[in-house]
């Protein structure tokens, strides 16, 4: 048979007793710790710079969009007010729609859980209307909010 060679140990022992450190000149450990802390600080500073750049990249288009939206609202105050009234009305319509949707779900819970056909019918009946209504409400809400609600742009 083959003689098995013992595998090298996966873990090694490190002596951290005070006697083990006596071979290191005094002050070297503190210098090493200080150097490592400075490296960590430098890395954190660089990471902060990168995060600031990322925030500026992401917020730039949003600031521009808010500025353009504010200009549009200032140029079309009557239309912005009409959008506000329409959004309020559609919000009430959405509430009633959600009320009937949840009532249907609660009354037909077992049927919806048991059969794909009924679930598909339900989704076909309510899904597109809900999605489109939410989209229209979102647009109207953006167009109707007052320009003062946005943070000033520098």
Question: Could you read off the pLDDT of 99-119 as tens digits, one per residue?
Answer: 999 999 999 888 888 888 888
Residue 21 has a pLDDT of 52
Residue 144 has a pLDDT of 86
Tell me which residues of the chain have a pLDDT lower than 70: 1-5, 8-26, 146-154
- Structure pTM? 0.54
| Whole-angstrom distance, CA of residue 126 vs CA of residue 69 | 32
Task: Assess contact for 140 and 87: CB atoms under 8 A.
Answer: yes
Torsion region of 51: left, alpha or beta (phi above 0 gives left; psi -120 to 50 gives alpha): alpha
Residue 154 has a pLDDT of 41
């Amino acid at each position: 048979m083959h003689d098995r060679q013992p595998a090298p140990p996966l873990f090694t022992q490190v002596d951290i007793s005070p006697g083990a450190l006596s071979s290191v000149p005094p002050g070297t450990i503190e210098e090493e710790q200080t150097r490592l802390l400075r490296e960590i600080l430098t890395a954190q500073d660089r990471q902060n710079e990168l995060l600031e750049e990322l925030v500026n990249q992401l917020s730039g288009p949003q600031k521009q969009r808010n500025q353009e939206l504010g200009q549009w609202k200032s140029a079309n105050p009557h239309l912005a007010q009409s959008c506000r009234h329409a959004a309020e009305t559609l919000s009430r319509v959405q509430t009633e729609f959600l009320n009937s949707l949840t009532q249907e779900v609660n009354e037909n819970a077992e049927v919806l859980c048991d059969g794909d056909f009924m679930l598909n019918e339900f989704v076909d009946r309510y899904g597109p209307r809900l999605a489109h209504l939410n989209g229209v409400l979102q647009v109207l809400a953006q167009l109707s909010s007052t320009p003062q609600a946005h943070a000033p742009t520098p």
